Amino acid sequence: MKIIVEKEGQNMTRELSALQKARLGYKPKLPKVLRNGIKNLNLEYGVPTQAIADADDVQELFPNSYGKPMATFTSKHDAVPNKTTNVGVILSGGQAPGGHNVIAGLFDALKEANPDNKLFGFLCGPAGIIDGEYIEITGNLMDEYRNTGGFDIIGSGRTKLESEEQFMKTWNTCQNLNISAVVVVGGDDSNTNAALLAEFFLEKKAGIQVIGVPKTIDGDLKNDQIEISFGFDTATKTYAELIGNIERDANSAKKYWHFIKLMGRSASHVALECALQTHPNITLISEEVAQNKTSLSEIVDYMTNIVAERANRGKNFGVAVIPEGIIEFIPEMKSMISNLNDKLALCEDEADYMALSTKEEKREYLKNKLEAHNAEVFASLPESIQAQLLMDRDPHGNVQVSRIETEKLLVEMVQAKLTEMKKNGQYKGKFSSQTHFFGYEGRCAAPSNFDADYCYSLGYNAFALILFDVTGYLSSVKNLTKPADEWIAGGVPLTMLMNMEKRHGLMKPVIQKALVDINGPVFGELQKNREIWAYEDHYLFTGPIQYYGPSEVADAPTKTIQLERE
């Protein structure tokens, strides 16, 4: 319990910025149906649901929790059961703006239902509930974190809560604290595990509910019922602020190409949203690359042609937006990295390789290690990137894809191609570059009004679902492009989001990631404008997130949700 003391002591004496102080007083908006008090609700059920795919397999694995109906809150003036309900909450995985407000909504609903209810926060992610490390979230502590960014109230972690042994320990922790419901705030993996935990508790007749909350700045945890995961709004607006500022700089100095990599390994929603907010000259989308089986050299050609054509028009500057994960979507890179993971051991090989001085020797060496086509791909990369592929391995010897500086890789390859074109007289411009990677800059930003309201509602709604005794549900608040008044609150059965996928060679039930739909309206909007944005300068400057001021400035949701839902 040392942590509580240190935390409270720290915060009480801690200096706050003017904006922090002002935001602590912000009252997040709830859906109308949740505003009459936690005790004046009715939960209406729809028809039973099906898994998104592989229904039989998923059902077999979730015999107790499969196929539950959709659930929607309506107002009611009968009293709901007033039992004492202690709840545990876990923040799982990467931070997303608004996590503290999920806890605030949950806390307020829980205390409103019964002041004797307790909320326990497990420390540093799922490991906290497994090992029984927690703090009780008190009113004073909660008040210091309302509308703030970060997950620092209890910390987060990436331990996977998935084994029988971990479930048993979790059960034990819950029994010790008299916890009857666990709220898991996480992305697709964490919510998959929340579904497994719910099934486990049902099977054991433990009487412990599990409710998930859709979190991830990546925006890839969504479906018809979950319009967006929280944090996406704030993170993309923060990156868009920076991209817009850089565009303005590029267009003022007129001498640099800025290659900007944005966080998001599995899906390109962040890059796509930011592109729609800022209109860069080049936007790469991983899902498009995968669909078209675009090769690295085709990507480089695409970029180089835009650089060269802009130079023809007297513009030796521009901005390119690149999703972090793109390298894994390029077929030959994916194959080469996989081959490298399998075949090339750490350390000795690397030293041997780096000692070779000519390109021919290096290529020859790799031919003996990698399959021929993979060796060719490897040899075609700039040396600095080869070194990253060889050196930055994780403890299992795998290439750490997130450490590969894709933005620099592309700069070097575009530069090389331009040099070649210059020799042939096809290019007469100048190419100077700056590279950027934005991710950590936005994951813990203070939530926008949208995320502050949405997260508070998700948390409040999670407790309402607990009161109605459901389990294995994801807290759902929808109709988000409308004012909060018109938002619809309810629950979505987690098994409904699942299908079977191969993981480490075995078929596993998992929540399907929502990738960018290249036939959908959001990508369509990029596609429609891409050519124009490439050559003319339609840069858009969204500026920093505003918490005050005209509603269209302070409250507008993302382009993605507007295009998908309107």
For residues 372 and 362, give the distance between their C-alpha atoms in angstroms, rounded to a whole number: 13
For residues 30 and 489, give the distance between their C-alpha atoms in angstroms, rounded to a whole number: 9
- Which positions from 421 to 460 touch a second copy by CB under 8 A, shown as an x/- string? -------------x-x---xxxxxxx--------------
When binding is defined by CB under 8 A, the residue of 164, 165, 224, 552 that contacts a second copy is: 552
Residues 6+ apart with CB under 8 A from 4: 135, 136, 141
* 246 is a contact residue toward a second copy (CB under 8 A): yes
Query: Between residues 104 and 465, which has the closer beta carbon with respect to a second copy?
Result: 104
Residues 6+ apart with CB under 8 A from 205: none
Query: Between residues 31 and 97, which has the closer beta carbon with respect to a second copy?
Result: 97
| Closest separation in Å from C-beta 99 to a second copy | 8
When binding is defined by CB under 8 A, the residue of 206, 546, 564, 565 that contacts a second copy is: 546
| Closest separation in Å from C-beta 247 to a second copy | 8
When binding is defined by CB under 8 A, the residue of 68, 491, 547, 558 that contacts a second copy is: 547
Report how far apart, in Å, the C-alpha atoms of 454 and of each of 139, 224, 448, 530 are.
21, 17, 10, 31
* 133 is a contact residue toward a second copy (CB under 8 A): no
When binding is defined by CB under 8 A, the residue of 5, 19, 347, 507 that contacts a second copy is: 19
When binding is defined by CB under 8 A, the residue of 65, 92, 156, 558 that contacts a second copy is: 156
* 168 is a contact residue toward a second copy (CB under 8 A): no
Query: Between residues 331 and 483, which has the closer beta carbon with respect to a second copy?
Result: 483
Residue environment code for 146-167, b if the CB has 16+ CB neighbours within 10 A, otherwise e = bbbbbbebbbbbebbbbeeebb
Contact 443, 97 (CB under 8 A): yes
Listed residue (117, 112, 106, 103) closest to 178, CA to CA: 117
Query: Between residues 109 and 545, which has the closer beta carbon with respect to a second copy?
Result: 545
Q: Which amino acid is at 444?
A: C
Contact 136, 167 (CB under 8 A): no
* 17 is a contact residue toward a second copy (CB under 8 A): yes
Subset of residues 74 to 103 that bind a second copy, contact rule: CB under 8 A: 94-95
Total residues interacting with a second copy, rule: CB under 8 A: 65
Say which residue the tokens 């908006």 belong to. Answer: 29
| Closest separation in Å from C-beta 526 to a second copy | 14
When binding is defined by CB under 8 A, the residue of 271, 272, 556, 561 that contacts a second copy is: 556
405, two tokens = 């500086």
> Which residues are tagged catalytic?
218
Query: Between residues 199 and 247, which has the closer beta carbon with respect to a second copy?
Result: 247
Q: Cα–chain-centroid distance for residue 64?
A: 29
For residues 20 and 10, give the distance between their C-alpha atoms in angstroms, rounded to a whole number: 15
Q: Which sign, positive or negative, has the C-alpha torsion 47, 49, 50, 56? A: negative
When binding is defined by CB under 8 A, the residue of 395, 425, 505, 549 that contacts a second copy is: 549
Listed residue (276, 282, 273, 274) closest to 250, CA to CA: 282
* 525 is a contact residue toward a second copy (CB under 8 A): no
Which residues contact a second copy (rule: CB under 8 A)? Answer: 10, 14-20, 22-23, 94-95, 124, 148-152, 155-156, 238, 241-242, 244-246, 248-249, 251-254, 256, 258, 277, 279, 355, 357, 434, 436, 440-446, 536-538, 540-550, 552-554, 556
